[in-house]
């Protein structure tokens, strides 16, 4: 019987999966994950920050409860299947069984905390669909099977419904199909029709919500400006090194007709990021999609090297993954360190907020989705103020009138945010700092949360509304959504 993948590869993927099961259970949800959990209790075909698949996956496991493990379980499955799929994709593109196994190992052992914890974020489904698209596209290069074409369409649609970056995968597959003169080129209408049907509800949701997701993705989230020099910061240097290494490795490893699919689904996106880095901040994890393609070429290339070189590269990669796992385990045990500080303070914030509510009967309000999502997950109804895109939709879910007494929770002092201060002081006649909460322990960063009493509110209805006039025919809740909405750029929410 033909093997699915080499036993050592399956064993390593299994070990990494077991670690993810452990990490998913012991590491608390971070604020992004709790924000996505809030999405899941409000089913929709779209949301402000991302397409809906992340929320659908969380909702699918809701029958298991709302523990971190239950919420992350679908994402563990996504990452495990993605590793197996990229190995099979390498086989479909002509790799040996050993090369396919190496591709699966490289992907499974990516030394990235988010992936090794299997956090409930869009990346898991995005990378799964990317790997599956490569697999089914590769199987269609010489002969098109109807089931492969259908599954290719579903995978492409899944990538689009996970991240906006999925469009790079769709365009790469289309260009490859024609430029490489594949059999898929004659049957491309099948997967594209499926993509159209599955993506249409998301487009409709945007159309009925003043295109709020598309405008947020393309304009509000970005901060287009000319950088003085890409190497002027550690962040810029890191991205530049990753991008250069990526381009070089792709040209070295993705050769010939079989490597064409990898080149077209990887290089254009990376080159676009390099150009974008001149006018905007570019995150290194944006390279994960193209890196999934590169894994299908890296595996066969690594096994073709001489044994000492092959073993050295494998040892370095596995050591990096092992070090990341150890860091996660350390954070879980000590509740400290860079990986743990922001995650572990969320439960403490909820407890401190409950204490404030016990001391005085007030309504919690905030201007950040991080705090709003955290408190909502812990059962504390929280309202959002301001005119950010997240706040606009949040008010549709939870209302907009805090009443005469509220406590404002912010990540910056109110004096440092003059627009928010003016809005609060317009609505409440008595505004006074109540307490500053300090979270975190060395060596991790400290997080400060400022609690401000807001009393003698008028009717509360205006304090959380954007100060813009709706256009004729524009729903009041989405007033101002046609202009690029404002968002504080202190969040960690994944881009695009």
pLDDT tens digit string along 162-213?
Answer: 999 999 999 999 999 999 999 999 999 999 999 999 999 999 999 999 899 9
Question: What is the pairing mode between strands 363-366 and 406-410?
Answer: parallel
| Listed ranges 111-120, 215-224, 281-290, 333-342; the one with the highest mean pLDDT | 111-120
pLDDT at 59 over 70: yes
CA distance 366 to 373: 10
59's tokens: 């909702």
pLDDT at 227: 55
Residue 77: pLDDT band with limits 50, 70, 90? very high
Residues 250 and 266: beta-carbon distance below 8 Å: yes
Record the tokens describing residue 345, joined without a space. 């303070």
* Banded pLDDT at 389 (limits 50, 70, 90): confident
Identify the CA nearest to 463 among candidates 426, 434, 409.
426
- Do residues 491 and 370 touch, judged by C-beta distance below 8 A? yes
What's the pLDDT at 320? 96
**Across 58-67, 220-229, 338-347, least confident range:** 220-229
pLDDT of residue 486: 36
Q: What is the mean pLDDT of residues 199-228?
A: 83
Report residue 443 CA to chain centroid gap. Answer: 26
**pLDDT band at residue 473, thresholds of 50, 70 and 90?**
very low
Predicted pLDDT of residue 222 = 66
Distance in angstroms (rounded) separating the CA atoms of residues 347 and 345: 6
Q: State mean pLDDT over 349-374.
A: 93
Please report the beta strands in 367-424, taking only residues with DSSP state E, as ranges in sequence order: 383-384, 406-410
What integer pLDDT is reported at residue 310 of this predicted model?
Answer: 94
Name 241's bridge partners. Answer: none
Q: What is the pLDDT of residue 27?
A: 93
Banded pLDDT at 237 (limits 50, 70, 90)? confident
Q: Which of 19, 111, 14, 122 is nearest to 332 (CA)?
A: 19
pLDDT of residue 228: 46
Peptide bond just before 462 cis, omega within 30 deg: no
Q: What pLDDT was estimated at residue 343? A: 76
Segment 410-425 shows an average pLDDT of 92
Task: For residue 488, count other CB atoms closer than 10 A to its CB.
Answer: 17
Q: Residue 65: CB partners within 8 Å, gap ≥ 6?
A: none
Among 29-43, 330-344, 354-368, 426-440, which stretch is predicted with the lowest mean pLDDT? 330-344
- Phi first, then psi: what are they for 434, rounded to 5°? -95, -45
Please give the model's pTM, rounded to 2 decimal places.
0.89
* Structure confidence at residue 479 as a pLDDT band (50, 70, 90): very low
Name every residue whose Cβ is closer than 8 Å to that of residue 349 and which is 6 or more positions away in sequence. Answer: 371, 374, 375, 409, 437, 439, 449
Residue 481, token pair as written in the block: 């959504």
The pLDDT value given to residue 274? 87
State the pLDDT at residue 326. Answer: 94
Given a cut of 60, is residue 491 above it in pLDDT? no
Q: What is the mean pLDDT of the chain?
A: 87
Q: Rounded mean pLDDT of 246-263?
A: 90
Give the confidence band of 474 by pLDDT, cuts at 50, 70, 90: very low
Structure-block tokens of residue 243: 């991008």
Compute the distance between CA of residue 19 and CA of residue 245 in angstroms, rounded to an integer: 29
* Mean pLDDT of all residues in 242-268: 91
CA atoms within 13 A on the CB side of 292: 33
Residue 464 has pLDDT above 70, yes or no: no
Query: Is residue 398 a contact partner of residue 491, using CB atoms and an 8 Å limit?
Result: no
Alpha carbon 296 to its chain's center: 22
Please write the tens of the pLDDT for every residue from 436-460: 999 876 666 678 999 999 998 765 4
Q: What's the confidence (pLDDT) of residue 173?
A: 97
Contact yes or no for 139/145 (Cβ under 8 A): yes
């Amino acid at each position: 019987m033909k093997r699915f993948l080499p036993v050592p590869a399956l064993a390593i993927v299994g070990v990494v999966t077991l670690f993810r099961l452990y990490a998913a259970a012991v590491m608390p949800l971070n604020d992004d994950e709790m924000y996505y959990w809030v999405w899941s209790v409000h089913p929709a075909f779209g949301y402000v920050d991302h397409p809906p698949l992340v929320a659908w996956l969380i909702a699918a496991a809701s029958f298991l409860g709302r523990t971190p493990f239950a919420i992350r379980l679908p994402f563990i499955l996504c990452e495990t299947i993605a590793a197996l799929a990229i190995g099979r994709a390498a086989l479909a593109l002509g790799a040996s069984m050993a090369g396919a196994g190496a591709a699966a190992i490289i992907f499974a052992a990516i030394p990235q905390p988010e992936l090794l914890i299997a956090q409930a974020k869009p990346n898991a489904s995005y990378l799964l669909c990317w790997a599956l698209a490569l697999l089914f596209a590769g199987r269609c290069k010489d002969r098109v099977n109807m089931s492969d074409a259908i599954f290719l369409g579903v995978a492409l649609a899944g990538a689009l419904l996970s991240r906006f970056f999925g469009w790079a995968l769709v365009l790469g597959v289309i260009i490859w199909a024609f430029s490489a003169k594949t059999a898929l080129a004659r049957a491309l209408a099948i997967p594209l029709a499926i993509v159209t049907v599955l993506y249409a509800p998301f487009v409709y949701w945007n159309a009925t919500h003043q295109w709020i997701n598309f405008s947020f993705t393309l304009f509000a989230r970005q901060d287009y400006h000319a950088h003085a020099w890409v190497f002027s910061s550690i962040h810029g240097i890191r991205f530049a090194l990753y991008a250069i290494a990526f381009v070089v490795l792709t040209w070295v490893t993705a050769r010939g007709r079989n490597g064409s699919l990898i080149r077209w689904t990887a290089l254009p996106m990376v080159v676009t990021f390099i150009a974008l880095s001149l006018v905007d901040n570019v995150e290194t994890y944006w390279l994960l999609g193209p890196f999934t393609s590169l894994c299908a070429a890296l595996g066969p290339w690594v096994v073709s090297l001489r044994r000492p070189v092959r073993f050295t590269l494998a040892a370095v990669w596995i050591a990096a993954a092992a070090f990341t796992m150890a860091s996660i385990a350390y954070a879980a045990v000590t509740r400290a360190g860079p990986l743990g500080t922001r995650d572990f303070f969320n439960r403490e914030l909820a407890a401190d907020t409950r204490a404030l509510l016990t001391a005085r009967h007030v309504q919690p309000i905030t201007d950040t989705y991080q705090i709003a999502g955290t408190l909502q997950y812990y059962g504390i109804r929280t309202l959002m103020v301001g005119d950010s895109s997240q706040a606009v939709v949040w008010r549709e879910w939870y209302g907009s009138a805090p009443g005469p007494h509220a406590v404002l929770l912010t990540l910056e002092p109110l004096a440092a945010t003059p627009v928010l201060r003016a809005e609060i002081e317009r609505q409440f006649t008595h505004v006074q700092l109540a307490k500053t909460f300090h979270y975190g322990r060395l060596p991790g960063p400290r997080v400060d949360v400022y609690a401000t009493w807001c009393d003698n509110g008028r009717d509360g209805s205006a304090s959380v509304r954007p100060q813009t006039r709706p256009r004729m025919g524009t729903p009041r809740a989405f007033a101002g959504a046609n202009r690029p909405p404002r968002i504080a750029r202190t969040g960690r929410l994944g881009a695009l």
